[in-house]
Structure 1
Amino acid sequence: MSPNARRWAFLEIIIIVALALVPLFVTFPYRVNIFLSWEGAYRLSSGQVPYKDFGTPLGYGFWIIPALFFKLFGPQMVTLVKAQVFINIIAGLSFRSILRSLGVTPGIRLLSVLVFVMSYSFFNFWPWYNHTVIVYELVGISFLLRSFFSEKRVFRYVYMALAALFLFLSIFTKQDGGGMALMLCLALLVYNSLETRRWSDIAAFIGFFGLIAAVFILPLMPGFAYWFNHGQAPHNSRLAVNDFTEEIMGNSNWIKVYVLLAVFCLAAGVKQWGTWIHQRRDVLFALLTIGILGEAAIFQVTSYTPPDNNIFFHSFAFAFIASWLCQLLSIPLNTGRSVLLATALVLFWWSGTWWKYVGRYADRLFPDKEVVYAPNDTHHENVVSRRNYMIEADSSDVPVSKWIFSKLPVFHHIYMPPQTVEGIDRVLALPVVQQKKDHIKVLNMTELTPLAVAMPFKLETGPDYPLWYHLGVAMFNRQLATFTEKVQQRHYDVVLYEYAPSLNNFFPFALRDELKKHYTMVDSFLAPRRPTNAMIEVYVSEAATRSYTDTLLQKADTLK
């Protein structure tokens, strides 16, 4: 590697690593749905076996890295942030490797890496399966492309085996993104084999993939066949034609603009299609870009929450279009000045990602001087501005600025609504919790899954026990019937239930009705959501209620 190439590589890696490390130096509010990341990682790190000790409609690929970090750093919530730092670094390096394999010039590659980090990695502080599935895909594509251009046969098959492994992990993280990743890679593989006449590569890749899938899946049977969602009952498919047409034709403006620009670039740049079709790197780059845009269009429908799951496409489209435009318009991006100017433009383009952090300091330097005066103030006019023209109707919401930290180690560096922190302390102070200690039986149907460590209590296991409780998604009527029977028999000492009326059976509504019949609700407090629109209800059994009442009476007697 020449000194100039080393300098470009150094800058690219610095961008990837430096921005990925930012989360290590800040604190965080409790993240909606992060409970799922924590519990899956905790169960794996505790030695539990998926589909034997718990069921999930996904594969367990998503939890592998967080579980490893739990083993290394402990099961604190903030360990998930450390795991995501590692995931973001791997994602950036994989994207860089893809561009190197495709022969993207250093200046455009540097800018593309910056776009990738700013548009997809920088704001991902917490691990989530809709992100991890794409990261595994990027790793798989990077190894597959390296196998295409490897001169040594042994290395070619090693890279191909690694590509098969990570593409399987992509499917084993999320079926939709992983399935599309596999189809995209098969298309690249077919074209490459057609050009190189190495048809054995297709057989080798499929063989590696099948062997890896068998090694992962067969030991998990028969529970895997029931839990892993491939559209079979009791699961349901998310493939609805109307959903795709409505989202793609009615929205998806960025994707459609990129497709249009990519077509224009090819139309303007390709003079002899018969010759160009044999330029492997150029054609692979075009196939990959169009494939990623198509995947993003479908992914936004099949994985619809949060709404920005599919923005991995920006960096690929930028790299492809910028490569062609710089070539067609003879724009040199090989000097420090030109790259610096282009970097400033990219940062301006993606200012929404970083300005929310810088904006906090800007608000302090330039505070809003407008004051709203009451109508009966005869000395001043009532001021209505961009910042106050709407009146917040939800008076129960607790803004993040008022959230506080818990003293519990598992929630270190994580802040929550004061009502949540105080409610957790009251739960831990319950007489039944204090008396039974490690032998307490708890059903925790809330987002506060780290209470398993804070209380502590032993998590239930079994091949029919769901990892989380979203009815129709992660558990079904069979599991609901089991929980209902246990509640009716007062199997649990304490049940924590999160009532989120705006979410469709995110925690089964029917079970709440049973709890009200057979348990006593002794407390309720805000769930750590933003906005704070859900309540955590604390139910205890009749025996625990008597103990709780006796304790209160004893305290009253002591005060007398």
Structure 2
Amino acid sequence: MSIFSLKGQRPAIVESFIIIALALVPLFVTFPYRVNIFLSWEGAYRISSGQIPFKDFGSPLGYGFWIFPAIFFKIFGPEMISLVKAQVCLNIMAGFAFRSILKSLGVQPGVRLLSVLVFVLSYSFFNFWPWYNHTVIVFELVGLAFLFRSFFSDSRIRRYLLMLAAAFFIFLSVFTKQDGGGMAFMLCLLFLAYNSFSTRRWLDLPVFAGMFFVVALIMILPLMPGFGYWWNHGQPPHSSRLAFNDFTDEIFGSSSWIKGYVVLVALCIAAKIKQEGNWIRQRKEVLFALLTLGILGEAAIFQVTSYTPPDNNIFFHSFAFAFIASYLCDLLKINLNAVRPLLGATLLVVFWWSGTWWKYVGRFADRLFPATEVAATGPGHENVVNRHNYILDKDTTDVPVSAWVFSSLRPFRKIYMPSSTAKGMDRIMALPVVAEKKADIKVLNMSELTPLAVAMPYKLETGPDYPLWYHLGVGMFNRQLATFTQKVRDHHYDLIIYEYAPGLNNFYPFALRDELKQHYHQVDSFLAPRRPTNAIIEVYVK
């Protein structure tokens, strides 16, 4: 029976296959245009072109988020699909970092394998596009992986090198998104404090903190003084996102998964303490408990400070599962290293997270078993109301994704969008002002079609006061709005592409649209690549 158990390198091979194989899936499919992905493209394109953040453009975030997309732009070109390739790399990094953390904590192979599967299915598999609320957690996981390896290294030099790597990636986490990165740093201090108490290596905590701040100084000082204005730490013109009622309402009013996991983790710890009186001295077990509770706490806060999209914080499932499964297997004497119980548990996990893969399998099921619609057609026929038609859809402007098409422009290769958007971009390319001005054309592109900078092409504006994106109160402020307003009044631009999204609060400044109506001529309009299609892109010339 030994050949059917998890021994030697078998767990590592299976875990690696799960991480890599599922991460590679996006390379073989096409994608609808992603809402807000313009921001990922714009930052990556500017950095890959040699622009320096906070010198050539400003952002309330650090540039950590754009590092990998920029690298992939340099390798594969500034196409939308290159962002997907960058995300494949980030997903692989996250999977192996998560696996490394569990391995450092001594999680048994069977539970570790299942936990890796939960991590991939619950968190990374459906993340096809890079987004800062995901990248911040990837860098955190890599940093934690290095930190936990340092805890169990016998060599001082190796331990400090691992801590330096941890400090670097935790800083990148902060430099990607302040809230997630800041909580990652605080968790590291918590783990270091306990580990120092347990091992009597009291220098580890101040050494790590010193490394972190040295890395921060090296990365930040060359970016001053623009960094001090743009990077959001609650200073004017930025506003703080910390509101006590928001946290209490979200945590006590919902967060059912997080609270349920906390209860189960507490029960597992209580059972372990009852079984082993000196549990507090079991270093790996205590670190595992602190990590799990810390991640659950981070997730509870993260869902408030980073509220869109609503599933930013689901990285906690895999940590909670790993901890609870480890303790239950130990307390109940379940051997998940044997193939039969492991296969049974794997089927349960796959069933648990069927929502992440069924939407792909479901497309084939819908074709095999098409739904039959029955409706009243005359006297004597009953009107049928079911889950598919109990709400009447009266939105006549929406374009279902099934009717979206591909654009002929290379930067949008393998990305489909509403036909109106694709045809609208073709009309922009055919405008006389575009053909006559060529590379010298002055363009203000306040829309989600940022890759037009490569398709036309046109030169992006730069400057320490120029915003990376145009969401008023988030990505730019009144000072920048005043500058754009004056440029519009002075007819500085040859072509202005403006996206009007009336349902979004100044996603592109409403006040500037009023100026465009007065000082420019609108020559075209078409649907923005959103779902639902509730925004319009307007084209203006002098």
Aligned twin of 1:555: none
Please say if 1:206 is aligned against 2:197.
no
Letter in 1 for 2:386: S
Aligned twin of 1:414: 415
Aligned twin of 1:558: none
Aligned twin of 1:529: 530
Q: Is the 8 A contact 2:19 2:92 kept in 1?
A: yes
Q: Superposed, which structure 2 residues align to 1:296-445 within 5 Å? A: 296-374=299-377, 377-378=378-379, 380-445=381-446
CA apart distance, 1:154: 1.2
Aligned twin of 2:474: 473
> 33-42 or 326-335: which moved more?
326-335
**Helix, strand or coil for the counterpart of 2:7?**
helix
Please say if 1:111 is aligned against 2:120.
no
Deviations 1:238-271 (CA, angstroms, capped at 9, x unpaired): 0000000000000000000000000111111212
Letter in 1 for 2:423: E
Please say if 1:10 is aligned against 2:17.
no
Letter in 1 for 2:322: A
CA apart distance, 1:319: 0.3
Please say if 1:241 is aligned against 2:240.
no
- Tell me how far apart the structure 1 counterparts of residues 313 and 387 of structure 2 sit (CA, whole Å): 31
**Helix, strand or coil for the counterpart of 2:538?**
strand
Q: 2:162 aligns with which of 136, 159, 162?
A: 159
Task: Tell me how large the CA RMSD over aligned residues is.
Answer: 1.1
CA apart distance, 1:141: 0.3
Q: Superposed, which structure 2 residues align to 1:181-330 within 5 Å? A: 181-271=184-274, 275-330=278-333
Q: After TM superposition, where is structure 1 displaced by more than 6 Å over at least 4 residues in a row?
A: none
Aligned twin of 2:495: 494
- Tell me how far apart the structure 1 counterparts of residues 8 and 392 of structure 2 sit (CA, whole Å): 56
Letter in 2 for 1:392: D
CA apart distance, 1:379: 6.3
> 328-337 or 97-106: which moved more?
328-337
CA apart distance, 1:371: 2.9
**Helix, strand or coil for the counterpart of 1:528?**
coil
Aligned twin of 1:130: 133
Q: Is the 8 A contact 2:150 2:159 kept in 1?
A: yes
The 1:318/1:390 distance shift into structure 2, 3 A limit, reads same
Q: 1:101 aligns with which of 87, 99, 104?
A: 104
Deviations 1:321-361 (CA, angstroms, capped at 9, x unpaired): 01111111111111111111100000110011100000000
The 1:291/1:3 distance shift into structure 2, 3 A limit, reads closer
Structure 2 unmatched runs, 5+: none
Letter in 2 for 1:393: K
Letter in 2 for 1:501: P
**Helix, strand or coil for the counterpart of 2:537?**
strand
CA apart distance, 1:383: 2.5
- Tell me how far apart the structure 2 counterparts of residues 123 and 410 of structure 1 sit (CA, whole Å): 23
- Tell me how far apart the structure 2 counterparts of residues 356 and 274 of structure 1 sit (CA, whole Å): 48
**Helix, strand or coil for the counterpart of 2:8?**
helix
**Helix, strand or coil for the counterpart of 2:247?**
helix
CA apart distance, 1:3: 8.5
The 1:272/1:339 distance shift into structure 2, 3 A limit, reads closer
CA apart distance, 1:382: 2.9
Q: Is the 8 A contact 2:95 2:120 kept in 1?
A: yes
Deviations 1:21-50 (CA, angstroms, capped at 9, x unpaired): 000000000000000000000000000000
Q: 2:149 aligns with which of 146, 150, 168?
A: 146
- Tell me how far apart the structure 2 counterparts of residues 459 and 386 of structure 1 sit (CA, whole Å): 49
- Tell me how far apart the structure 2 counterparts of residues 265 and 202 of structure 1 sit (CA, whole Å): 29
Deviations 1:454-503 (CA, angstroms, capped at 9, x unpaired): 11110000000000000001100000000000000000001000000000
- Tell me how far apart the structure 1 counterparts of residues 221 and 292 of structure 2 sit (CA, whole Å): 35
Aligned twin of 2:483: 482
**Helix, strand or coil for the counterpart of 1:475?**
coil
- Tell me how far apart the structure 1 counterparts of residues 373 and 8 of structure 2 sit (CA, whole Å): 53
Q: Is the 8 A contact 2:60 2:231 kept in 1?
A: yes
Deviations 1:118-141 (CA, angstroms, capped at 9, x unpaired): 000000000000000000000000
Percent identity among equivalent residues? 72
CA apart distance, 1:372: 2.4
Aligned twin of 2:175: 172
- Tell me how far apart the structure 2 counterparts of residues 494 and 501 of structure 1 sit (CA, whole Å): 22
Letter in 2 for 1:247: E
- Tell me how far apart the structure 2 counterparts of residues 172 and 42 of structure 1 sit (CA, whole Å): 18
TM-score by length of 1: 0.95
**Helix, strand or coil for the counterpart of 2:9?**
helix
TM-score by length of 2: 0.98
> 382-391 or 396-405: which moved more?
382-391
**Helix, strand or coil for the counterpart of 1:270?**
helix
Letter in 1 for 2:425: I
**Helix, strand or coil for the counterpart of 1:199?**
coil
Please say if 1:55 is aligned against 2:54.
no
- Tell me how far apart the structure 1 counterparts of residues 476 and 387 of structure 2 sit (CA, whole Å): 45
Letter in 1 for 2:481: L
**Helix, strand or coil for the counterpart of 1:277?**
helix
Letter in 2 for 1:203: P
Count of aligned pairs: 538
Q: 1:83 aligns with which of 77, 83, 86?
A: 86
**Helix, strand or coil for the counterpart of 2:524?**
strand
CA apart distance, 1:370: 2.6
Deviations 1:177-196 (CA, angstroms, capped at 9, x unpaired): 00000000100001101111
Aligned twin of 2:465: 464
Deviations 1:283-322 (CA, angstroms, capped at 9, x unpaired): 0000000000000000000000000000000000000001
Q: Is the 8 A contact 2:6 2:337 kept in 1?
A: no
Letter in 1 for 2:201: R
Structure 1 unmatched runs, 5+: 542-560
- Tell me how far apart the structure 1 counterparts of residues 105 and 114 of structure 2 sit (CA, whole Å): 15
CA apart distance, 1:274: 5.7
CA apart distance, 1:207: 1.6
